[in-house]
Amino acid sequence: MPVRNRYNLVDDVADSRLPLHSEEAYQHGISFQAKYVGSLDVPRPNSRMEIVASMRRIRYEFKAKNIKKKKVSIVVSVDGVKVSLRKKQKRKEWTWDESKMLIMHDPIYRIFYVSHDSQDLKIFSYIARDGSNNSFRCNVFKSKKKTQAMRIVRTVGQAFEVCHKLSLQHAEQDADGQADGESDKSMDKPSSHDGKLTGAEQEEVGESGKHGGEDSVVGVSLREKAVSEILQSLAELNVVKPGQTIMDIDGKSVFTVTSQGISPSSPCSPSLTPLASQHYLQLLQQQLQQ
């Protein structure tokens, strides 16, 4: 018959490699009941033997001082391990202040180690690092059953994995959010680019405007030149006599025929527009017909 040691006495049906709880359960918190033995500051442990030695030293010191164990509730969640006194609420008390009942609250990332005592499987502890002075504190508890102590140890161990997965998911979401923000910015840039012209584009538009203005001036000068050439040829053919004035629609004299050619009747004569040039040609035709 094989020899059974203390670990074999624990009837742990579930495989230690399989998770005890779902990840959603850690969002709400998993509660256990136990007795709080005590806590002491310990040096940074380098091996499991040092952790077990610290655990046993705390037990013996508190037992020698005749310090009674306190009934507590241990809640394990993604926020950490919260230990609070388990006390019945009195009828006269209208409010329940949890801060007065809270003994300790250690985030998961500050928990250094969690284990149970091989000599007494009802005893378990975890070592947490203090954020203010980076000291290590060993917290010792005792459960009613050995299986309960094993479940608490495994629950805290699984909390490490759950928090690690959540941190990876948050990192991926942050990376995706930054990528989406950059893509949105890149999409916004072309729209703003369409609304506002750059310096090079403004120069191109300015140059095109200049060219357009020059073209319009050239067109007007060509029309004036054409009309003046027609009048000049008419004067040479004596169709239009010297001293005769060419009137516009409003009856204003625009050109005067001289012996030397055609000249504006006044220095303030307006430049010919396309419509005005057509009117002048029509007037010439009418005067020629007369």
Tens-place pLDDT, residues 74-123: 999 999 999 999 877 666 655 556 667 889 999 999 998 898 888 889 99
Tens-place pLDDT, residues 149-190: 999 999 998 898 898 888 888 888 887 777 777 776 666 655
Highest mean pLDDT range out of 9-18, 172-181, 190-199?
Answer: 172-181
- pLDDT value, residue 101: 85
Evaluate whether 121 touches 105 at the Cβ level (below 8 Å). Answer: no
Question: What class has domain 23-86+97-173?
Answer: mainly beta
Tens-place pLDDT, residues 18-77: 677 888 889 889 999 999 999 999 998 888 888 889 999 999 999 999 999 999 999 999
Q: What is the pTM of this model?
A: 0.54
- pLDDT value, residue 208: 52
What is the rounded distance in angstroms from the CA atom of residue 231 to the CA atom of residue 244?
11
Residue 124 tokens read as 């378990």
Rounded mean pLDDT of 127-139? 89
| Domain residue spans of the chain | 23-86+97-173, 215-289
148, with CB counted inside 10 A (0-12, 13-18, 19+), is middle
- pLDDT value, residue 192: 47
Evaluate whether 127 touches 55 at the Cβ level (below 8 Å). Answer: no
Tens-place pLDDT, residues 249-262: 455 555 565 655 55
What is the rounded distance in angstroms from the CA atom of residue 226 to the CA atom of residue 277?
9
